[in-house]
């Protein structure tokens, strides 16, 4: 393993060979540009979501292929990854260099210093396997209830299956609920009318 300073120099040299017109760019300037790209990535990825701490310490892991794929859309990160791949740096060598704002090492340093664990909300909106199974079961129960309802209206089995296959089950269920509600209101009005009529009949007598 080479020293940290030598790794900086090797990466810088390789990146400048890939960017021959920018030989005047120093390593510190490259790092600042990488940080700026991370800030843009945080802003575009989280938007109004995520906690303030998570945005301040996003903890990008440069050893994670998925993170590398995300960050490679930024030109200087793309050049950085190509350089470390060309140099065939080990994980520990990469980890010794990647210490700037937004990196996993910077987040871990903050957590160790403050005793705070930053919750990563990136996958919070992704349902678990159990939740997916529950949603599928609920959807199946809804379809079965709609099937029974449509069959009760006198539709043929094949017609019902076509309706369920082509229609939005949720909208169909809401429509049928509204229809059922109107039927209930009509029945209530009918009964109320007959009650009033009976009262008038008694009054006339």
CA distance 125 to 119: 14
CA distance 92 to 103: 14
Residue 149 lies in a domain: yes
Summarised one tens digit per residue, pLDDT across range 41-95 is: 998 887 766 567 888 889 999 998 888 988 999 999 999 999 999 999 999 999 9
Segment 6-10 shows an average pLDDT of: 88
Domain of 49, in residue numbers: 4-114
More confident residue, 23 or 109: 109
Residue 123 lies in a domain: no
User: Which of 114, 149, 183 is at the close of a domain?
Assistant: 114
Summarised one tens digit per residue, pLDDT across range 92-129 is: 999 999 999 999 999 999 989 998 888 776 555 556 67
Which residue carries 């802003």 as its tokens?
43
> Based on the structure, what is the number of domains in the chain?
2
Model pLDDT, residue 202: 45
Q: Mean pLDDT across the chain, nearest whole number?
A: 76
Residue 91 and residue 181 in one domain = no
- Provide the token pair at 174: 């809401």
Residue 53 and residue 146 in one domain = no
Positive or negative torsion for Cα 180, 182, 188, 190: negative
Residue pair 7/62 in contact (Cβ under 8 Å)? The answer is no
Residue 183 has pLDDT above 70, yes or no: no
């Amino acid at each position: 393993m080479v020293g940290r300073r030598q790794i900086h120099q090797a990466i810088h040299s390789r990146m400048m060979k890939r960017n021959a017109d920018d030989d005047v760019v120093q390593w510190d300037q490259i790092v600042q540009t990488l940080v700026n790209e991370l800030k843009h990535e945080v802003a575009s990825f989280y938007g109004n979501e995520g906690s303030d701490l998570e945005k301040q310490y996003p903890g990008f892991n440069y050893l994670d292929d998925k993170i590398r794929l995300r960050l490679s859309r930024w030109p200087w990160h793309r050049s950085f990854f190509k350089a470390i791949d060309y140099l065939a740096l080990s994980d520990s060598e990469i980890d010794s260099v990647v210490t700037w704002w937004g990196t996993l090492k910077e987040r871990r340093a903050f957590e160790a210093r403050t005793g705070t664990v930053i919750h990563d909300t990136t996958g919070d909106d992704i349902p678990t396997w159990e939740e997916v199974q529950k949603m599928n079961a609920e959807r199946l129960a809804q379809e079965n209830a709609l099937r029974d309802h449509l069959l009760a209206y006198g539709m043929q089995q094949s017609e019902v299956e076509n309706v369920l296959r082509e229609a939005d089950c949720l909208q169909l269920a809401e429509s049928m609920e509204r229809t059922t509600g109107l039927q209930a209101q009509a029945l209530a009005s009918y009964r109320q009318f007959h009650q009033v009529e009976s009262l008038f009949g008694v009054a006339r007598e």
